[in-house]
């Protein structure tokens, strides 16, 4: 019977080693706070709401301490995005009405490359907030930065797929104009994925 308890203990230890503790979750949020705040700020357009989104995401993630370590940062980012979107859901709905007659021009297949994301990360968030409405910013984060599908963006943002695509195209056009003005090279600017 000792072999059974030995095997059971080993399995518990292996499981424990693969799970993120509450402390690890809090540490992940602390280490990535600036990035998570930036993502939430792009969506909410408001520093206080962005802070609130990160705090709420941290609390939400702490309740899921069984998250595998490999997924921890993905979960932290996803939780932050969800919390930020929740904070500005009404503003996103208002923004959606501006895209009712727009088309996506098939640019919804394009996601941002690592270099483009870094360039955007180095841009002044106030410029992004001034140039894009809450829906376009949210679509930029979800599709462009997080590489979610347009369908998933539409679902999370609670807008029709066509409107999510049009908002994302608007964000891509703005980013292209911004990078053209800044003299960023055109090669490898867009990673097209189906």
DSSP annotation string for the chain: -HHHHHHHHHHHHHHHHHBPPHHHHHHHHHHTHHHHHHHHHHHHS-HHHHHHHHHHHHHHHHTTTT-BGGGHHHHHHHHHHHHHHHHTHHHHHHHHGGGTT---TTGGGEEE-HHHHHHHHHS-HHHHHHHS-HHHHHHIIIIIIT---HHHHHHHHTS-HHHHHHHHHHHHHHHHHHHHHHT---TT-EEE--
pLDDT > 60? residue 140 = yes
The pLDDT of residue 184 is: 52
Catalogue all structural domains in the chain, each as residue range(s) with its CATH number.
1-87 (1.10.1740), 89-194 (no CATH)
pTM above 0.75, yes or no: no
pLDDT > 70? residue 153 = yes
Banded pLDDT at 181 (limits 50, 70, 90): confident
pLDDT digits (tens, 9 = 90+) for 155-166: 999 999 999 999
The pLDDT of residue 20 is: 61
Q: In the predicted model, what is the mean pLDDT of the chain?
A: 80
pLDDT digits (tens, 9 = 90+) for 50-95: 999 988 887 776 665 554 455 677 778 888 999 999 999 999 999 9
The pLDDT of residue 180 is: 84
Please compute the mean of the pLDDT values over residues 21-30 and round it to a whole number. Answer: 73
Report percent pLDDT > 70 for the chain: 72
The pLDDT of residue 191 is: 44
pLDDT digits (tens, 9 = 90+) for 93-115: 999 999 988 765 667 568 999 99
The pLDDT of residue 8 is: 46
Banded pLDDT at 32 (limits 50, 70, 90): confident
Banded pLDDT at 179 (limits 50, 70, 90): confident
């Amino acid at each position: 019977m000792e072999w059974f308890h030995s095997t059971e203990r080993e399995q518990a230890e292996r499981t424990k080693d693969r799970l993120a503790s509450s402390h690890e979750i809090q540490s992940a949020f602390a280490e990535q706070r600036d990035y998570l705040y930036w993502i939430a700020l792009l969506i909410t357009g408001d520093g206080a709401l962005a802070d609130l989104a990160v705090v709420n995401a941290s609390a939400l993630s702490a309740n899921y301490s069984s998250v595998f370590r490999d997924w921890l940062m993905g979960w932290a980012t996803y939780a932050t995005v969800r919390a930020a979107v929740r904070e500005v859901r009404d503003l996103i709905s208002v923004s959606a009405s501006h895209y009712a007659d727009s088309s996506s021009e098939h640019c919804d297949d394009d996601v941002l490359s690592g270099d483009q994301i870094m360039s955007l990360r180095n841009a002044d968030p106030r410029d992004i907030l001034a140039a894009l409405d809450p829906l376009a910013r949210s679509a930029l984060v979800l599709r462009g930065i997080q590489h979610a599908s347009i369908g998933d963006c539409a679902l999370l943002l609670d807008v029709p797929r066509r409107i999510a695509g049009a908002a994302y195209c608007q964000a891509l056009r703005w980013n292209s104009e911004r990078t053209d003005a800044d003299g960023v090279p055109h090669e490898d600017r867009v990673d097209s994925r189906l």
